[in-house]
Amino acid sequence: METVSENKCFGGVQGVYKHSSAATGGEMTFGLFLPEEAEETPVPLLWYLSGLTCTHENAMVKAGAQAWAAEQGIALAFPDTSPRGPGVADDDAYDLGQGAGFYVNATQTPWAPHFRMWDYVADELPKLITRNFAVDEERQSITGHSMGGHGALTLAMGLPGRFRSVSAFAPICHPTAGDWGRKQLSAYLGADETTWARHDATLMLREVGLEIPLLVDQGSDDQFIDLLMPEALAEAVAKRRVPATLRLQKGYDHSYFFVSTFIEDHIAFHAEALYA
Amino acid sequence: METVSENKCFGGVQGVYKHSSAATGGEMTFGLFLPEEAEETPVPLLWYLSGLTCTHENAMVKAGAQAWAAEQGIALAFPDTSPRGPGVADDDAYDLGQGAGFYVNATQTPWAPHFRMWDYVADELPKLITRNFAVDEERQSITGHSMGGHGALTLAMGLPGRFRSVSAFAPICHPTAGDWGRKQLSAYLGADETTWARHDATLMLREVGLEIPLLVDQGSDDQFIDLLMPEALAEAVAKRRVPATLRLQKGYDHSYFFVSTFIEDHIAFHAEALYA
């Protein structure tokens, strides 16, 4: 593992690190914020999964999350959204290939060898971080934005016991039913839709439910709301009687201005679970 | 004036606007955050001047200022750092020409026709903003980062009575004596150094002093600290007996991670003056 940069930030350190990834068969970059408390003792870890077109950097510089993570004594992990580089398959569209890993393990050509973001985020990167930094692997929570909200929800339900709480900003709620999902799941996983189900938060919620606290914020003026389908998640939450807080925020859109507005609430929500 | 974008943010609106500028003879873009209170009544305005290479956008997305401006009911203006476009002179260096206006009115070829950032920020843009938005022109304060800190300090001293308070993050303190300054002032203003003096915060402080509250933060691990010369400003402040708070922050560098860490303090500092 190689240190790309470390900047002091809110009393802690915002680092960027590179490493050779077995899961994706190439070099991966991630951001990690460690609060001051990590100098003394392992701290809880909140994962932030990003959306389409993002790298590890977008949320790290735009979401304003470090202020509140420092206040709560929580570390923040910012993974990339896909494998990258000249040897990695890509597509001209912004929503397929590099920058659009969708947090699945691809089984189809040409994506299969590198696009294994589920394994990377579920397994390899947590091990790397908990072994190399002062974070407590027993206290992890997860959040994300848009495609990253989809990732946060499906990882939380697919890895029961791993996380203490889950939240999302404008998540893709029902990817098997919409254009942000069907295109990518068919490309990465193939035509057999039974393999898609565990990557659909609405279907997972109906099927397996959720045992940890859930918070979702969605802007009412989100330009992508028809692709996100918050109504599908809301219905599944209500039907399954999942304890959850789903908030529709009047006038907010899909941007980081929306995320930064509500990130304080999300980090406070996770802190309650992580310090319970 | 044309609206480029408006995003709801912390209950207010983060806007980006374009307009034809008489001062710079071309099109200029700026960001303006209006807190929710501006729907009802004109609010105080804090100017944020940015550093080398920045546009209106960097601080707007990276500094995390809106959270605290919303809390205090203060508007934020984010001007660009220079004129731009194909008809505007430029230089291959990052620290001269486009992105490096230095908040002066150039008198020298090829800069003179467009590089009039002093007039733009001191005169044209304040008029445009106070006429078109619910901001109170009697309650203005100013801050900035690096080259923008230089701009904030020299504007505050060059326009007595305009601002109620001034602050800066890692400002260029003594440009007539260092490489971040001599190069640009000679290019824009020519060889006669008497014309440079009013664009040097240390010289201005010695000469005219400062009647409003001053707060400066400087990181001890700033990679550019030798170019910034905080010691020159500190000496002038002490000699002139200017009421000021100069803080050296241990371990912080020149990045936005440093700015975002202390922006809450700066906005609270300005709010005290703006609501006095």
Q: Do B11 and A256 touch (CB under 8 A)?
A: no
Q: Mutate which of A61, A221, A259, A262 to test chain B, going by most B C-beta atoms within 10 A?
A: A61
Amino acid A10: pLDDT: 98
**pLDDT > 70: percent of chain B:** 100
CATH number of the A2-275 domain? 3.40.50.1820
Q: What is the pLDDT of residue B84?
A: 97
Q: How far is A89 from chain B (nearest CA, A)?
A: 31
Q: What is the DSSP letter of B85?
A: S
The answer to whether the peptide bond before residue B110 is cis (omega within 30 degrees of 0) is yes
Contact residues, chain A, for B10 at CB < 8 Å? 260-261
Tell me, yes or no, if B254 is annotated catalytic: yes
Residue A8 has its nearest CB partner, among B11, B67, B251, at B251
Question: Taking CB atoms and an 8 Å limit, are A64 and B67 in contact across chains?
Answer: yes
The 3 state secondary structure assigned to A164-197 is CCEEEECCCCCHHHCHHHHHHHHHHHCCCHHHCH
Q: Report the chain A residue with the minimal C-alpha distance to residue B257.
A: A9
In angstroms, the first-to-last Cα distance of chain A is 33
Quick one: pLDDT at residue B134? Answer: 98
Residue A87's contacts (CB-CB under 8 Å, 6 or more residues apart) are: A26, A114
Q: Which residues of B touch A251 (CB under 8 A)?
A: 8
Beta strands (DSSP E) in chain B are 2-9, 12-21, 26-34, 43-49, 75-79, 135-144, 166-169, 214-219, 244-249
In angstroms, the first-to-last Cα distance of chain B is 33
pTM (predicted TM-score) = 0.94
* Average pLDDT score over chain B: 97
Q: Select from B11, B61, B219 the Cβ nearest to the Cβ of A256.
A: B61
Given an 8 Å threshold on Cβ–Cβ distance, is B253 in contact with A7?
A: yes
Test B255 with A7 for CB contact under 8 angstroms.
yes
Q: Sheet containing A214-219: give its strands across.
A: A2-9, A12-21, A26-34, A75-79, A43-49, A135-144, A166-169, A214-219, A244-249
Kindly state the tokens that stand for A267: 């980090």
Which residue do the tokens 């190069």 mark? Answer: B183
Q: Which residues of A touch B (CB under 8 A)?
A: 7-11, 14, 61-62, 64, 66-67, 219, 221, 251-253, 255-258, 260-261, 264
Task: Give the distance from CA B78 to its chain's centroid.
Answer: 8
Instruction: Name the residue in chain A with its Cα closest to that of B59.
Output: A62
Interface confidence, given as ipTM, is 0.89
Residues B174-210 have pLDDT tens digits of: 999 999 999 999 999 999 999 999 999 999 999 999 9
Q: For the segment B118-140, what is each residue's pLDDT rounded down to a tens digit?
A: 999 999 999 999 999 999 999 99
Contact A261 B219 (CB under 8 A): no
With b for 16 or more beta-carbon neighbours within 10 A and e for fewer, the B107-128 pattern comes to eeeebeebbbbbbbbbebbbeb
Cα–Cα distance for residue pair A16/A9, rounded to 1 Å: 13
Asked whether the beta carbons of residue A258 and residue B61 sit closer than 8 angstroms, the reply is no
Do residues B205 and B174 touch, judged by C-beta distance below 8 A? no
**Average pLDDT value for residue range B30-59:** 98
Catalytic option among B21, B50, B146, B167: B146
Ranges of residues in chain A whose predicted pLDDT is under 70: none
Residue of B nearest to A65 (CA): B64
Cα distances from B92 to residues B115, B183, B184, in angstroms, run: 16, 14, 13
The pLDDT assigned to A202 comes to 98
Distance from C-alpha of A200 to C-alpha of A194, rounded to nearest angstrom: 11
Alpha-carbon gap: B140 to the closest alpha carbon of chain A (Å): 24
Residues of B in contact with A11 (CB under 8 A): 261
pLDDT score for A84: 97
Strand-pair partners of A18: A2, A29
Tell me what pLDDT residue B29 has. 98
